[in-house]
Structure 1
Amino acid sequence: MRAYRMMSIVLVGFMLSACSLKNPSHKESAENPHQMGDQMDVRYYALGGKWMQKIAHHTYPEAFDANGTRYAWKALGGDSGGDILADTTTKCDKDGACIDLSTLNYIMTEAPCIWPYEHYYAIVGVCWNATNRGLYYTGKTVHNVPFYALIEKVYGTYGLDTNSACWYSLSPSRCEEGKKRYAWSQCLTNVQEKMPWSANNAINLKSPLKSIDPRIELYHNYTQQSNKNGMVSSTEEDYLKKLFELNIKEKLGDISQEQKATLFKIDKQYRIKRASSDKAALTSPSAQLDFDALNQLFNEELKEYQNVLSDEEYLKLFGASKSEIFDIRNQ
């Protein structure tokens, strides 16, 4: 059995304060060993409105305890409203609660698991990456949100990691800082050390959490390979390509090798283009100008996919029509 299938949801010693950045005291931890939930899902909503034909989508996790009390986490944006995103709901067996709200709260509110919007949004990752971090122990991801296939092949499933290459010239110093402060692997280590975890009080991933998103396996294979051979850039490029291939297979099925090769060619072309873009265009004192520059590159790339995919194929792969303009902002 692969290691990722043996990951656990941990019963930890911290009482949850929903949407709060405050850590409970050690005294509170001793009196309230853990707080468990019965259900979890992700909500999403469009920002901007389709009348503008410029679409950004925000995602955030929510959970419910046995009494039906709702808890929600901002994930770098809002924490209310929207629709439940497909394939993100986890419901626990009647035998006992399986969502560890305390661990979830830690991941969604504490560094190095969550990063500040200012200075680090679209550097470490976007709200989808932050939400995926919160979903980690349910074995699910937000892969059905519109335009997800575009972003995951750039930032990965969980955002910047220790071995990630700063592939674009946008704010390279912030990228290096982001790797040191908010790497996903560092978050996982800190959760285990600071919550803390124990093999004697953990619940193995099993029914109803037995459906594991293959992205989790890809992530763990990537970290094992990069730690083993030290070939950071080539290993990460292969990992991101596999994520794109997974999205293609999930959305388009078994397309021809020729068509797949064309999609990979476009992906590689724009990966190189982002890494070699004019620094004057991608390094500015204004985050909004940085977003404008990234949006231009992303939408140029989407145009290339539009040229080789039918309307139906494009809609399936990116969850949006060809008339919709992608916007990376999350406000």
Structure 2
Amino acid sequence: MPNRNVIELNSVQNASRTITISSYNILCRHYMWEKVYGHLPPEFRSWRNRFNLLNKNFSDMSKFCDIMCFQEMEFKMYVEFWEEYMRGKNFGSIFERKLSPRYWDRNLVMMDGVSIFYNQETFKLLNYERIELASFFKNPALYEQTKDTAHRLVSRNTVALIAVLQHVRTHEVFFVANTHLYWSPRHEDVKLLQAYELTELIWKAVRRYYQLSESETRSKLQSKDGINIILAGDFNSSPESLVYRYLTDGYIDITKEPAMQNYNYGHTVGPRLGDRMGKFTSPYKDLYDQGTFTRTAYLPKFKKMIDYIWLNEYSKRLKVTKVLDELKDDDLHDYLGFPNLDYPSDHLPIVTELEVMPRELPNDN
């Protein structure tokens, strides 16, 4: 990945306790639409060229990443190639495929989805959950079945994964989620409720894994050691969005949000969403606030940060040590657009290194 530098944010105290995580929307070949990418030369759009570059990306990233989260990975390519290709590099994996949208006219095996790959020398898979968010939105015990619930939430094919992974060296347990929220900028309400439901599902996964009551789960999250929770993916949401504010604040009052006022989701939604999972923060937040990391997606009229690796506030012992920088303006001048012969997607992978700090020893006094 040319012209991308590593930024050191904090020094590492114990290298054996570090892990590296990436998130990468690889641009499914079936979304290479003429109206969006027609300005690019054919060799930039060629699936053969892009496939070879993606394989090189995967191989390069496997040398330093312990967990890799992908979005827009085609199911057919996963089962026929990437699952085995990455197993050869000692990576296990899980996958969740989207349901086909109304316009889809290809075989369902060509549908894309999300995947989590994990280095089997570093992590052991303890459990995982495949999530089709629409199945929760159409559950009347969870959401009132209004017209907007049916037409705006249930009709979306958004999926997610939650993996429970154990770090081999430290025996620390991690809850790692990966998703790709709905794309449309006219559906902020949909993306907000998708993010809310996913955080609720992470909370339930923690409770289920540790077999705790609601109050016990709350106490464990808030304990001094906390719980290691990482949420990654393409959120199709910039830092000005409802999703970003919900995750960074830990809650949102939908009665104060104009984007929510024209829709009726019934008494089961709001007025205040959140609180149980607390706040999330991005390892890139300070760089974004300083104006030095502002984009993860690169389209002619759209260069913004919409991909994230979120750390939960209850992940009290995860220290961010390094991140992979963005492409700078001087480097962008070298490219007609994205994808190209150096970068096979219109998104760039984001990468962060974390150090798992030791638990506090009990006080004998």
TM-score normalised by the chain length of structure 1:
0.31
Higher relative contact order (CA 8 A, sep 6+): 2
Structure with a larger share of its residues in strand: 2
TM-score normalised by the chain length of structure 2:
0.29
